Structure 1
Amino acid sequence: MSQLFANLFYQAEVSEIFSDESHLKYMIQAEVALAKAEAKVGVIPQLAADKIEQVATQQGINALDIESLSIAAGLAGNVAIPFVKQFTAAVKALDEDASRYVHWGATSQDMIDTATILQAREALEVIQLQLQHAHSLALKLAEQYRSQVMIGRTWLQQALPITLGHKAARWASSFQRDLERLAQMKSRVLTAQLGGAVGSLASILDQGTAVVEAYASELNLSTPTCTWHGERDRIIEIAGFLAIVTGNTGKMARDWSLMMQTEIAEVFEPTGKGRGGSSTMPHKRNPVAAASILAAANRVPALMSSMYQSMVQEHERSLGAWHAEWLALPEIFQLCAGALARTNEVLQGLEVNADNMHHNLEVTHGLIMAEAVMMALAPKMGRLNAHHLVESACKKAVETQQHLQEVVAKMPEVQAHFSSEDLKQIFKAESYLGNIQDQIDAVLNEAKGVAK
C-alpha cells in the first residue's frame, strides 16, 4: 500500500511483519529448520546443516538480491524457486559440499506455506495484544458508564432506554469471544508444512515422518498429521478469524459514528491537532477513526471472497488458487490490525456528553416509555387490552403534541390503577432497564474468570 494511506488503514508492526524482507527472513528460517531437522534424523550431514545455519546467521537476508528475486519470481511462478537458488549460492560460497543439501527433499510450497505460518504466528501475537487492550478499555467503559442512561435504538429509531455501559459491555463481550477464538484455533492453524512434490516426501525415503516431526519442533509449530498443500482450511481459518475481528470493530465504529451525528452528539472521538476537520467547513468534527475502521470492514469481506474461492484446488497442489492467498492474507492482517489500532484510540479517549444523552431520551415526549406503561397495565387488564389502550394514547400524544405521561394520566383506565406518583416512576427511563446491570456484571465477571 502507498505510504500516503498506511497510517490511515494499517498498523506499522504488522505491516513490517508482512514486508518482503520479513517474508524472506521467514523462508530462510524454514530452510535452516529443514536442514537442522534432516541432520538430526541423519538424512544430511550435520556439518552441512551447520554451514547452512551459519550463512543464515551471519548473512541472513543480505545473502539475497531482492530486486533480482522479484524479477525472477515473475518468470518462475513463485519466489521460492529463485530464493532457493540465491540461498544455495550463498551457502556454496562458504562451503560447496554443504550447498548440495540446501532445500533437501522440499518443494517451493513447503517453504512459502511455512513462512506464511511463521508470519501469521508473529502477527497474531500483535493482534492478541491489541485485542487484550481493546477488551480492557471496553470493560473500563462498561464499569464507568454502567448507570449512564441513554436511548437504545432499533432500525435506527429510538426504542427503549439502555445504558452506555451496556453498549460498552457488549463490545467487551465481542472482544472476549475474539480472544477465545484465537486461543482455540492456534493449535490447529500454526502448523508446519513439509511434503515435497506431491506430499509424500518420497525423496527422503523412509525418514519423512521423522523429518517432519523434527522440522515442526525446530520451528515450534504443530506437526501436521498429513501434508496440507491442497487443503487450505488452516489459512482460511486465520483469515476468517481476522474478518470477524474486523467486523466486530466495524460494528462498534458504526455505533459511535452515528452517536457523533450533529443532531445526536452523545459521544465523540478523541480530539487532536489536525484530526477530524474538513477542508472546507471549519465547524466539522468528523469521525475519522470510524471511517478507517469501516473502510477495513468493507474491504475485508471482499478479500475473504477470494480466500474462500482459493479453497477449491486441483489434486495435490494447485494452479492459481494458492497464489491468490499471497495478496489477500497480508492485506487482511494489516487491515485488521489497523482497525484495532483505531478502535483502541477511540476507546482510550472516548468523549461522552451525558447532557445530550438525557436530552435525547426526552425528544419523543415520553413515547419511548410506552412499553413500560403497557407492561404495567397488562397484569391489570390483560396485555392485548393494555397494548390497544397505550397505542391509542400514543396517537393522541402525537396529534396533540402532549407528553405521553400527560395523556395516560387523564385516562380512567389508568387512573383506576395508578396514582400520579406511580406514573412518574413508570416514566423514569432508569426504572425500565431490565437486566442490564446483571449483564454488565456477567461480562465483568467473565473477564475476571468468575464462574457464572
Structure 2
Amino acid sequence: MSQLYASLFYQPEVTDIFSDRALLNYMIQVEVALAKTQAQVEVIPISAATIIEQVAKNALEAIDFDDLAVASGLAGNIAIPFVKQFTAIVKQQDQDASRYVHWGATSQDIIDTAMILQCRDALLLIEKQLQFAYRISIKQAQQYRNQVMIGRTWLQQALPITLGHKFARWAAAFKRDLDRLQAMKSRVLTAQLGGAVGSLASLGNQGSAVVQAFAAELNLTVPECTWHGERDRITEMAATLTIIVGNTGKMAKDWSLLMQTEIAEVYEPTAKGRGGSSTMPHKRNPVAAASVLAAANRIPALMASVYQSMVQEHERALGAWHAEWLAIPEIFQLCAGALERTTDVLENMQVNPDAMQRNLECTNGLIMAEAVMMALATKIGRLNAHQLVEQACQQAVNQQQHLKITLSEMDEVNVHLSPSELNEIFKPETYLGNIQLQIDAVLKAAQGDSA
C-alpha cells in the first residue's frame, strides 16, 4: 500500500512484520533451523550447519533485493532466487557448507514456514491489542453502566438501554475474539516441511525426525503430515482476523451513527487536524470510524480470496497458494489498523449525557409504550393492552402531546394505573430489564480472566 495511505489503515509494527525485509529475515531463520535440525539427526554435517548459521547472521545485508525482485517474477516464487543468493553467500564463506543449504526442502516449505512465523509474531501484537481493547471496554462498561440512553432497532428509537451495556456487549465480543485466537494457535502455528511432494523422500528414513526437530527449533506445532495443498490452517487464521475486524466495524458503525449531528450522543476524540473538512469549518467527521469501516469493507473480499485458495490441485497448487501471498499480509495489517483506531476511540470517547437525555424525551414518551403495555397486560391481558396503548400512541402523535398525558386521560388506563404508578413507568431508568445483570456477568468474566 502507498505510504500516504498506510497511516490511515494500517499499524506500523504489524506492517513491518510483513515487509520485504522482514520476510527474507524469516526465510533465513527457517533455512538456519532446517540446517541445524538436520545436523542434529546427522543428515548433514554439523560443521556445515554451523557455517550456515554463522553466515546467516549477516546474510540479509548481502541480499540483492533488486535482483531478487526481478528473479522472483521469472521463477514463480521468491524462495527459488532467495535460496540461490543465500547459497552463494554461504559459498563465499565455505564451499562445502554451501552444498547443504536448503537440503531436502522445497520452496513451499520455506515460504509457508516463514509465513507462519510472520503470522505468529503479528498475532502476538494483535492479541495485545485485543487485550487492551477488552480492558478499556470493561472499564467503560463499569463507568457508564448507569448512563441511560435510547436503544435503537432498524435505526429507529426502541427502548432505553445504558451506554455501559453497549460497552459490555463490545467487551464480550473482544473476549470471544481472544478466545478464538487462543483456540486456534496450536492448529495454525504449524511447521511446514515435506519436500517435493510431501514425502520427504530426499531425507531417506530421517524425514519424520527432521520435521519434529525442525518444528521444535522454531517453537511451532509438529504437523501430522505435510499440508502443502490443505490450506485450512491459513483460512482459519484469516477467518478469525476477519471476524475481529467485523466486530470493530460494528462498533465503528455504532459510534459514527451516534456522532450524527441530530443525535450527537458521543464523539471521537479530538486532535489538531482531526476530522475536519477541506471546505466546511464546522465539520467534525468520524475519521477513525471511516478507517475501520473501510477495513471491514475490504477484508471480506480478501477473505473470499483465501477461501477460494483452499481448492487446490493435488500436492501443490497452481495460483491458489500464490494468492495467499497478497491476501494474508493485508488482512493482518487491516486488522491491526482497525484495532488500533477502535481502541483509541473506545478509550477516549467523548460522551454527551445531555444529548442522550434529550433523545430519550424527543418522542414525547412513545419509547415507554411497551412498559405501559406490560404493566396493563397483567390487568387486561397482553393483546388488549397492546391495542389500547397502540391507540393511545396514535392519539398522542395526532394531538402532538406526551403519551403519558394521553394515557392519563383514558378511563381504561386510570382504572388500573394510578398517577404515581404511571409517572414511575415513564422513567426510562425503571425499564432496563436485566441490563445490569448482563454488565455484571461481563465484568465477572473479566475478573476471571485476570485471576
Structure 2 match to 1:75: 74
CA-to-aligned-CA distance 1:385-425 (integer Å, 9 cap, x gap): 00000000000001000100001111111111111110000
CA separation in 1, counterparts of 2:280 and 2:376? Answer: 51
Give the counterpart letter for 1:194 in structure 2: L
Structure 1 match to 2:201: 202
CA separation in 2, counterparts of 1:368 and 1:347? Answer: 27
CA separation in 2, counterparts of 1:101 and 1:268? Answer: 60
The TM-score with structure 2 as length reference comes to 0.99
Structure 2 match to 1:16: 16
CA separation in 2, counterparts of 1:183 and 1:118? Answer: 16
Matches within 5 A, 1:222-261: 222-261=221-260
Give the counterpart letter for 1:256 in structure 2: W
Matches within 5 A, 1:20-99: 20-57=20-57, 59-99=58-98
Give the superposition deviation at 1:450.
Answer: 7.7
CA separation in 2, counterparts of 1:380 and 1:17? Answer: 66
Give the counterpart letter for 1:252 in structure 2: M
CA separation in 2, counterparts of 1:241 and 1:13? Answer: 20
Structure 2 match to 1:121: 120
CA separation in 1, counterparts of 2:114 and 2:419? Answer: 72
Structure 2 match to 1:394: 393
Aligned CA-pair RMSD: 0.8
Structure 1 match to 2:267: 268
Structure 2 match to 1:303: 302
Local SS of the residue matching 2:160: strand
Structure 2 match to 1:341: 340
* Residues 34 and 450 (structure 1), Cα distance of their counterparts in 2 relative to 1, 3 Å cut: closer
CA separation in 1, counterparts of 2:115 and 2:235? Answer: 12
Give the superposition deviation at 1:263.
Answer: 0.1
CA-to-aligned-CA distance 1:290-315 (integer Å, 9 cap, x gap): 00000000000011111100000000
Identity %: 71
CA separation in 2, counterparts of 1:91 and 1:410? Answer: 94
Give the superposition deviation at 1:184.
Answer: 0.6
CA separation in 1, counterparts of 2:56 and 2:353? Answer: 59
Give the superposition deviation at 1:63.
Answer: 2.5
CA separation in 1, counterparts of 2:303 and 2:182? Answer: 21
Give the superposition deviation at 1:347.
Answer: 1.1
CA separation in 2, counterparts of 1:358 and 1:60? Answer: 64
Give the superposition deviation at 1:64.
Answer: 1.1
Give the superposition deviation at 1:60.
Answer: 3.0
Give the superposition deviation at 1:165.
Answer: 0.1
CA-to-aligned-CA distance 1:113-143 (integer Å, 9 cap, x gap): 0000000000000000100010011111100
Contact in 1 for aligned 2:269/2:345 (Cα 8 Å): yes
CA separation in 2, counterparts of 1:435 and 1:427? Answer: 18
Unaligned 5+ segments in structure 2 are none
Local SS of the residue matching 1:50: helix
Give the counterpart letter for 1:353 in structure 2: N
Structure 1 match to 2:287: 288
Give the counterpart letter for 2:83 in structure 1: V
Give the counterpart letter for 2:20 in structure 1: D
Unaligned 5+ segments in structure 1 are none
CA separation in 1, counterparts of 2:61 and 2:237? Answer: 31
Structure 2 match to 1:372: 371
The TM-score with structure 1 as length reference comes to 0.99
Is the aligned partner of 1:444 residue 2:440?
no
CA separation in 1, counterparts of 2:62 and 2:121? Answer: 23
CA separation in 2, counterparts of 1:241 and 1:55? Answer: 38
CA separation in 1, counterparts of 2:66 and 2:130? Answer: 36
CA separation in 1, counterparts of 2:174 and 2:59? Answer: 38
CA separation in 1, counterparts of 2:63 and 2:53? Answer: 15
* Residues 380 and 296 (structure 1), Cα distance of their counterparts in 2 relative to 1, 3 Å cut: same
Contact in 1 for aligned 2:59/2:86 (Cα 8 Å): no
CA separation in 2, counterparts of 1:444 and 1:383? Answer: 35
Give the counterpart letter for 2:11 in structure 1: Q
Structure 2 match to 1:414: 413
Local SS of the residue matching 2:313: coil
CA-to-aligned-CA distance 1:351-402 (integer Å, 9 cap, x gap): 0000000000011100000000000000100000000000000000010001
Moved over 3 A (4+): none
Give the counterpart letter for 1:24 in structure 2: L
Give the counterpart letter for 2:28 in structure 1: I
CA-to-aligned-CA distance 1:150-189 (integer Å, 9 cap, x gap): 0000000000000000000000000000000001100000
CA-to-aligned-CA distance 1:100-120 (integer Å, 9 cap, x gap): 000000000000000000000
Give the counterpart letter for 2:420 in structure 1: E
